[in-house]
């Protein structure tokens, strides 16, 4: 390989690295601005100076209560749930090499929702127990979908169809739980099912925070292997990737984040579905987009929550707003994939 070609390759890598860094810095700034907005805005708008002071000075009375007790837990729940949904969705889409192969479409989110709703409605357990059962249910859903989709050879299309069938069955279970559950808990359960940050409390958000703090770095470390898996089984093995072990680690981390986020905030629609494609459009393919997808997930959740609170005549849960954003994209994607013969 000539020296000029090596120089061109190196220059291209440097440009892509600079683009990745610039975009992620801009995303961090957007997330920071949304976080400040979440703390400032409400029935009463507080200046930044009072918001910062209220976080460490409880003597400010109503300001401290509004910011530290109501708005900060809501912010933390939305931020960490967005990161969890974004990273988990990107992981499944990249690993399975199909934008439709995300937790929402495959039914993994619905499996975790069934377990969490069962704990909250029937057993009325605490948030930590609901999160644990949501993780177990999410992993079991993945195993069932994989076993039902396996027919001598592995097919992504078959996996998606099986996932849609499992999702329909689990939605029927959710409807049954809403019928037999305590009628006093049904309104709260319906708000939770729509994906909501209302009533978020710091103790109930701690399992989500710890799960993201533990699993997100693992997914970032596995980001390069994830991109290699996208090349196919044989290529990944030839490049020295232990595919089975890597997939297992990726699935466990992604499902854990997804399930605990679902148990904490409800199944916020389409965040896992949108984050990965947006990250790829901004940064480009063949790059470690896991961080970018997490930041975009956080932006989608926080921005949708602010829109749901203040952009309309009534207040909507965050999942309603993300659903309105994601549904048209899903239809456009289906049309494009059908034209390309990928459906």
User: pLDDT tens digits for 149-206?
Assistant: 877 666 777 888 888 899 999 999 999 988 887 878 888 888 888 898 988 888 889 9
- Which 3 state secondary structure label does DSSP give 71? helix
Q: Is residue 191 part of a domain?
A: yes
Confidence of residue 84 (pLDDT cuts 50, 70, 90): very high
Predicted pLDDT of residue 306? 94
Close Cβ partners of 173 (under 8 Å, ≥ 6 residues apart): 114
Bridge partners (DSSP) listed for residue 151 = 153
Q: Is residue 186 part of a domain?
A: yes
Tokens of 323: 């659903």
Q: Is residue 55 part of a domain?
A: no
Confidence of residue 3 (pLDDT cuts 50, 70, 90): low
Give the number of domains in the chain. 1
Asked whether the predicted pLDDT for residue 333 surpasses 80, the reply is: no
DSSP category for residue 320: H
Torsion sign over Cα 183, 184, 185, 186: positive
User: pLDDT tens digits for 217-263?
Assistant: 999 999 888 888 877 777 788 878 887 888 889 999 999 999 999 99
Is 16:287 a contact under the CB 8 Å cutoff?
yes
Cα 178 from Cα 302, distance rounded (Å): 28
> Is 343 or 68 the better-scoring residue by pLDDT?
68
Q: Is residue 48 part of a domain?
A: no
Q: Is residue 265 part of a domain?
A: yes
Q: Which domain holds residue 222?
A: 80-339
Question: In terms of residues, how long is the chain?
Answer: 343
Asked whether the predicted pLDDT for residue 82 surpasses 70, the reply is: yes
Identify the CATH number of the domain in which residue 293 sits. Answer: 1.10.3470.10
pTM passes above 0.85: yes
Q: Is residue 184 part of a domain?
A: yes
Is 251:142 a contact under the CB 8 Å cutoff?
yes
Tokens of 291: 């961080």
Q: Which helix (H) or strand (E) holds 100?
A: none
Q: Is residue 64 part of a domain?
A: no
What does the pLDDT average to over 206-211? 94
Predicted pLDDT of residue 1? 52
Cα 77 from Cα 230, distance rounded (Å): 31
Q: Is residue 36 part of a domain?
A: no
Cα 187 from Cα 200, distance rounded (Å): 16
Tokens of 305: 């929550």
């Amino acid at each position: 390989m000539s020296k000029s070609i090596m120089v061109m390759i190196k220059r291209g890598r440097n440009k892509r690295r600079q683009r990745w860094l610039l975009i992620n810095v801009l995303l961090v700034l957007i997330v920071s601005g949304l976080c400040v907005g979440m703390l400032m805005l409400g029935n009463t708008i507080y200046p930044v100076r009072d918001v910062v002071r209220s976080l460490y000075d409880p003597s400010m009375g109503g300001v401290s209560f509004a910011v530290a007790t109501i708005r900060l837990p809501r912010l933390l729940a939305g931020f960490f749930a967005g990161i969890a949904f974004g990273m988990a969705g990107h992981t499944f889409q990249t690993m399975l090499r199909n934008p439709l192969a995300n937790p929402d479409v495959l039914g993994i989110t619905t499996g975790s929702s069934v377990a969490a709703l069962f704990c909250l409605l029937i057993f009325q357990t605490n948030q930590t127990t609901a999160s644990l059962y949501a993780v177990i249910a999410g992993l079991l859903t993945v195993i069932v979908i994989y076993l039902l989709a396996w027919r001598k050879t592995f097919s992504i299309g078959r996996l998606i169809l099986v996932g849609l069938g499992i999702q329909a069955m689990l939605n029927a279970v959710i409807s049954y739980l809403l019928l037999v559950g305590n009628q006093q808990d049904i309104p709260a359960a319906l708000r939770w099912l729509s994906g909501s940050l209302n009533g978020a409390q710091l103790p109930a958000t701690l399992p989500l925070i710890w799960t993201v703090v533990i699993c997100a770095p693992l997914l970032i470390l596995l980001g390069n292997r994830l991109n290699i898996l996208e090349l196919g089984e044989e290529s990944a093995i030839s490049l020295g990737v232990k595919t089975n072990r890597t997939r297992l680690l990726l699935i466990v981390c992604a499902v854990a984040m997804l399930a605990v986020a679902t148990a904490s905030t409800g199944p916020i629609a389409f965040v896992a579905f949108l984050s990965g494609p947006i990250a790829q459009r901004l940064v480009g393919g063949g790059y470690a987009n896991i961080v970018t997808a997490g930041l975009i997930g956080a932006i989608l959740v926080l921005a949708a929550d602010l829109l749901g609170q203040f952009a309309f005549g009534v207040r909507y849960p965050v999942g309603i707003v993300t659903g309105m954003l994601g549904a048209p994209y899903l239809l456009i994607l289906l049309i494009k994939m059908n034209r390309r013969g990928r459906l």
